[in-house]
Structure 1
């Protein structure tokens, strides 16, 4: 799902106050990291991740790889942090309404 510029701005503003939930370190984007990210995306739809200094991947590479493996969209990459978005299939959570 390709996000429009307006939707990206909306998601960036929502993600600003989030703390990183997923941490990518020496193991890079392992199956465990993917599973944790998928679980977080299902629960919250918008997840902030961080890349530690020990990782071999740049933040942009990690964001694109993780987004591809999770079926998510990269919202923003700044420094060692990035934000992913994917609509949740759960009905018991409050969904983000994109403009």
Structure 2
């Protein structure tokens, strides 16, 4: 799914007050974590995921894997927090044109 810059800015604004829905633990990115992120995307469409690791390369690899595995769109990374969006069948969030 391709989003315009206007749509990305709109979604970032909606994501600002949100708390992280999923936080990776000591085991890192497991199938269970990916399934939980997938469920959260189906339910909310727009979520934050916290990736608490100090290694920048490892954090980038984990975030890219999350986006790839869930077929979502990476909107923004702030520190250890990843903001992703995937439209559900219900279309809960109405995007601007």
TM-score (normalised: structure 2): 0.87
Equivalent in the alignment of 1:96 = 93
Q: Is 1:74–1:83's contact at 8 Å kept on the other side of the alignment? A: yes
Q: Is 1:25–1:54's contact at 8 Å kept on the other side of the alignment? A: no
Q: CA deviation at 1:25?
A: 2.8
> Following the alignment from structure 2 to structure 1, what is the Cα–Cα distance between the partners of residues 86 and 63?
13
**Deviation per residue, 1:72-98 (Å, 9 max, x gap):** 110110100011100112x4xx71011
Higher mean C-alpha deviation, range 24-33 or range 11-20:
24-33
**What RMSD, in angstroms, separates the aligned Cα atoms of the two structures?**
1.8
Give ranges in structure 2 of 5+ residues lacking alignment. Answer: none
Describe the SS at the equivalent of 1:83: strand
Q: Give aligned pairs, total.
A: 95
Give ranges in structure 1 of 5+ residues lacking alignment. Answer: none
